[in-house]
Amino acid sequence: MDLHIKGKKALVMASSKGLGKAVAFELAREGVNVLICSRTEKDLQVAQAEIIEQTGGKVHYAVGDVTTSEGRTSILNKAKEVFGSTDILVTNAGGPPAGSFEDHSLEQWEAAYKLLLESTVAMIQGVLPGMKDQKWGRIITITSQAIKQPVNGLILSNSVRASLLGLVKTLSNELGQYNITVNNVLPGYTETERLIQLRGDASNWDAFTNDVPLGRVAQPEEFAAAVTFLASQRAAYITGVSLPVDGGWIKGI
Ligand SMILES: NC(=O)c1ccc[n+]([C@@H]2O[C@H](COP(=O)([O-])OP(=O)(O)OC[C@H]3O[C@@H](n4cnc5c(N)ncnc54)[C@H](OP(=O)(O)O)[C@@H]3O)[C@@H](O)[C@H]2O)c1
């Protein structure tokens, strides 16, 4: 299927590794120009070189912490410099610390809000005027399967990420008139560095795969394929959805 997005310009947040990097890869394979970002320049340089080598695409990078206004400004300035206006925004960030209710101070709740919600809202604010002017845009948030079925011991993630459900649906209602779609993609257990660290020394994936009907964790490119489709012209009539890519892990209907 030709996704009809060749030549579009995409800003993918938190993308030197893991899910964000896989999304940047997949978009570049479709001929999309990508801007990747994270806090660590050497990882960005490695990711940029890999994506260019394997896709022949145009890849830029910006160093910045998405939890700070300075970091976001420098990423958005780079996007203006290399793209003019951004067609596709994929929001993403690291995950908040694990723990139960009594493990976390109010400061940790505030940090989780900054990481997951404030970073998303601020980056959308940054690219929205250009998308409205051109009457075309794709906004895709990366959240987690935990927003539909809370994971024990991840109270910060379960709680703060759930606010993205309301944001995405409301924004999709407001922005449809500008031909901007807004969707949310919920990764299940996906084999990134983060999950490999969470797995610890265990020699198998049982703790993650026991409740997954497909019986395995996802590969990052399987997640990225769903994001890339939603970013495409072929998904022009899909907006306001929260799509799990979880191998069937969420039990609700
Ligand atoms: N993998 C899974 O199974 C899974 C499942 C559900 C949800 N998620 C969520 O999906 C998100 C991505 O996970 P992942 O598995 O791809 O993680 P990962 O492999 O650890 O990659 C995280 C990426 O985000 C960047 N990053 C982290 N904090 C940042 C910040 N403050 N500003 C800018 N960039 C930042 C990292 O680079 P720097 O550290 O150099 O900045 C890195 O490029 C996380 O929120 C995670 O909780 C993952």
More confident residue, 59 or 208: 59
The SS3 assignment for 154 reads strand
In three-state form (DSSP H/G/I as H, E/B as E, the rest C), the secondary structure along 189-224 is CECCHHHHHHHCCCCCCHHHHCCCCCCCCECHHHHH
Q: Is the CB of 130 under 6 A from ligand 1?
A: no
| In a domain? residue 187 | yes
Instruction: Give nearest CA residue, ligand 1 atom 42.
Output: 17
Residue whose CB lies within 8 A of the most ligand 1 atoms, among 192, 222, 245, for a mutation test:
192
248 found inside a domain? no
Ligand 1 closest atom vs CA 19: 16
pLDDT in tens, 41-99: 999 999 999 999 999 999 999 999 999 999 999 999 999 999 999 999 999 999 999 99
Q: Note whether residue 1 is domain-resident.
A: no
Decide if 143 is inside a domain.
yes
In CATH, what number is assigned to the domain containing residue 166?
3.40.50.720
CB of 222 within 6 A of ligand 1: the answer is no
Structural domain harbouring 146: 9-243
Instruction: With respect to residue 2, please indicate whether it lies within any of the assigned structural domains.
Output: no
Report whether 106 contacts 160 (CB < 8 A): no
Paired residues of 186 in beta bridges: 244
Distance 135 CA to ligand 1 centre (A): 30
Domain tally, the chain: 1
Given a cut of 90, is residue 109 above it in pLDDT?
yes
153 Ramachandran zone, left/alpha/beta (phi>0; psi -120 to 50): left
**228 confidence band (pLDDT: 50, 70, 90):** very high
Average pLDDT over residues 7-15: 98
- CA 15, CA 198: separation in Å to the nearest integer? 19
pLDDT given at position 203 = 63
Classify residue 145: in a domain, yes or no: yes
Rounded average pLDDT over 134-161 = 97
Is the per-residue pLDDT at 196 higher than 90? Answer: no
Give helix then strand counts, H and E, for the chain: 9, 7
Distance in angstroms (rounded) separating the CA atoms of residues 193 and 16? 11
Percent of the chain past pLDDT 90, that is, above it, reads: 93
Distance (angstroms) between ligand 1 centre and the Cα of 37 equals 11
What average pLDDT does the chain have?
96
Residue 202's pLDDT is what? 62
Q: Report the distance separating Cα 176 and Cα 132, nearest Å.
A: 10
pTM: 0.98
Per the domain annotation, does 253 fall within a domain? no
pLDDT at 194 > cutoff 90? no
Ligand 1 atom at shortest distance from the alpha carbon of 208: 3
Poorest-pLDDT segment among 35-44, 100-109, 206-215:
206-215
The conformation of residue 151, written as its DSSP 8-state character, comes to P
Q: What is the structure's pLDDT at 29?
A: 98
- Domain membership of residue 141 (yes or no) is yes
User: In 3-state terms, what secondary structure has residue 12?
Assistant: strand
Choosing from 15, 17, 36 the residue with most ligand 1 atoms within 8 A of its CB, the one to mutate for a pocket test is: 17
